[in-house]
Structure 1
């Protein structure tokens, strides 16, 4: 009996020592962590087409300007839409295919416009009885148009939307072609180039931002700017063919093609971008709590513009593109005059040399831009710039038109991928809110190099000879290398 009693007591003690069910846990608080009273659970990602502003008014979603570039800036920790960024694709939404197409056709038109003076300048000089220095004013008019557009690109986009903005910009180009087509007095030609530059700056900035924010943006930028090379390749061929068949006095007939192209692009822009701001995308994250204020406040628009001027990446990018565009347009615009004056070339024959240069740019952008995306844009641009300078020296010192034509085509091949690679790096150095304003400044003030450098080349060629083209181009390549070295490298975005 005593043993049985001891056994029962042991069983009772052991039963009381077994683990008991825990009571309801009390949440521990940390001062640095925002506290929430709601239970933690997985919430599905929403696909909103609009977000309410502070005033309670629903505003359209902006696919590009909505996601902050760096985490932590103005984010709410309980907002699942701020968790990650997914870039839209070429087929998501499906209309992006047509939007990329119209950006490519616009760049093709710009190539047709920028490459034509190289073949037409000798005939324009003869028609108006002017020299190198005066005819170079067309480049200045173009530059002033680019610069004048810079402060208004983002403001116009916010107020009108991309569809109307790009369509009106294309019509602005058509307006600029009218004096050229009519062979109006030369001051009207310069004014026409102002409108061409203004419209081109708007479409270039918006097109670059749209394309760079797609998945595989570097590749698609290569396609977009490769279209510019296509226009640059066929432009001199068409212009030379027109004056060869119809006579030197028919140089203005070339612009019948460009004015038709710009009107067609205006309609294409309006159709393809019409519903852009209101579309939803499952792959696009969204975070913009003051969309209504940003879209309607002129002070905010001015602040964004001034902020772009204060950005180191924008200033270096503008200087880099200034030198790049200056070298590209100077070579395209004056190499024919160099071959005629220095190498005694036949104008009807050497006019096609410019097409070889633009053909090289086209192949470079289509074929070499994906290489830059693989090996790294920052490193790739160094190689391309140094190579272009070496072959430009060969164009300068090899006294053979065929050899110079081949070297010039290789210069174009190496210059081609630089713009899309550089645009990708610039975009990574800018926040979403800065991209349109920043790209507007880079495009406007950078592309003004495509006017200042050819104009300076024309002035010096008038005084010393057309050989000055080569030291100017090589000096601009050196400026590109300095800017590229100072520009900070950035990591690729997670797509």
Structure 2
């Protein structure tokens, strides 16, 4: 039953990943249809992430009240409904309404599933879990690109992915009895062989634990990078590299593909490398990929740059998530996980629009400069956190 539940969780993460890159992939065409400024995509992205931040912050109470299984099902239904709304939205104002629902559907389930796996499964399961999110994030732009290239019909792309979401919701509905059974089963794979670094913190408020704020900052910059590349990558390729919109959408799908394949491979690498080493290595690789976009090289090098960025980002998020109970103790992991998800989505909320607003008055050519700066700030925050944890371990 534990293995079957893990498969269901994998499917749920496909559901989480499908909608995330759609707006960025379809925006060059949607912008023309709605006749709105370039930076409007940043506003829509900000509204979506704002809803996710709210649901992440209240996730502890929601999960305690309804349980992980029901929260996952409700989330999938909400995102499916929101995508259906996108497909038939008559104006940009209706898109704003549906982005709110889309955001609210993501936060609680993200926190619930991440915390569950971090506390009950090994590091390789966390990486593979997030690679399934990448499967969804990769399929989304590919499906959208097919409709844009053949029919110029982004609405059909949203309608198709909404149908996939509703199908996953049916699977989750049928799996509800399984969640109840497994929750009563003690045969869950826990990391009993690991001594947690910081368990004696029950009387301390989560934000008072040393290192938590640095962790939140690292999540902020990580999702800032990931979301900015996903949202503005197509626009950069179309407007700076003169690549057709359908081709640009496919190239961005390779970015998500690099993220997905990287996380799948990370699951095997965790047997040989620690989470901390994987986080550092991934940040350096992502920085190299972003640097390729800065150089005045042929357009094909930009494709390589996007893939390298995705491959570098691959281990960072799942490894940081999996480290949470170890770094700050199981007694506070659910609450801190919610904070981390909230700050992650804050990064996804604020950082892409910053680029959009500046690009609207200058040029989208500043895109690679912003990516490099975000990655450097993430690396600095992460290294400071690691140094603090190392010092605390020797006290």
Residues 270-316 of structure 1, C-alpha deviations (whole Å, 9 max, x = no match): 42423343333387799xxxxxxxxxxxxxxxxx9x93344444432
* Distance in structure 2 (CA, Å) of the matches to 1:284 and 1:365: 21
Distance 1:119 1:256, change over 3 A: same
Alignment of 1:147-162 (within 5 A): 147-162=53-68
Distance 1:486 1:285, change over 3 A: closer
Partner residue of 1:227?
A: 132
Partner residue of 1:242?
A: 147
* Distance in structure 1 (CA, Å) of the matches to 2:270 and 2:378: 17
Per the TM alignment, residue 366 of structure 1 is displaced from its structure 2 partner at its CA by: 0.6
Alignment pair present for 1:253 and 2:156: yes
* Distance in structure 2 (CA, Å) of the matches to 1:200 and 1:283: 26
Alignment of 1:331-342 (within 5 A): 331-342=229-240
* Distance in structure 2 (CA, Å) of the matches to 1:448 and 1:468: 22
C-alpha contact 1:372 1:421 (8 A) present in aligned 2: no
Per the TM alignment, residue 348 of structure 1 is displaced from its structure 2 partner at its CA by: 2.5
Number of residue pairs aligned between Structure 1 and Structure 2: 376
Distance 1:403 1:285, change over 3 A: closer
Distance 1:283 1:409, change over 3 A: closer
C-alpha contact 1:314 1:426 (8 A) present in aligned 2: no
* Greater gyration radius: 1
Which consecutive unaligned segments of at least 5 residues does structure 1 have? Answer: 1-94, 287-303
Which consecutive unaligned segments of at least 5 residues does structure 2 have? Answer: 193-201
C-alpha contact 2:234 2:252 (8 A) present in aligned 1: yes
C-alpha contact 1:110 1:228 (8 A) present in aligned 2: yes
Residues 67-103 of structure 1, C-alpha deviations (whole Å, 9 max, x = no match): xxxxxxxxxxxxxxxxxxxxxxxxxxxx222322222
Length-normalised TM-score, structure 1 = 0.71
* Distance in structure 2 (CA, Å) of the matches to 1:285 and 1:267: 32
More helix, by proportion: 2
Distance 1:211 1:283, change over 3 A: closer
Q: Could you say what secondary structure the match of 1:174 adopts?
A: helix
Q: Could you say what secondary structure the match of 1:113 adopts?
A: coil
Counterpart pick for 1:105 among 8, 11, 19: 11
* Distance in structure 1 (CA, Å) of the matches to 2:94 and 2:296: 39
C-alpha contact 2:47 2:103 (8 A) present in aligned 1: yes
Counterpart pick for 2:221 among 291, 305, 323: 323
Q: Could you say what secondary structure the match of 1:480 adopts?
A: helix
Counterpart pick for 2:269 among 364, 371, 375: 371
* Distance in structure 1 (CA, Å) of the matches to 2:236 and 2:260: 23
* Distance in structure 1 (CA, Å) of the matches to 2:225 and 2:256: 13
* Distance in structure 2 (CA, Å) of the matches to 1:138 and 1:373: 40
Counterpart pick for 1:115 among 11, 21, 26: 21
* Distance in structure 2 (CA, Å) of the matches to 1:255 and 1:307: 42
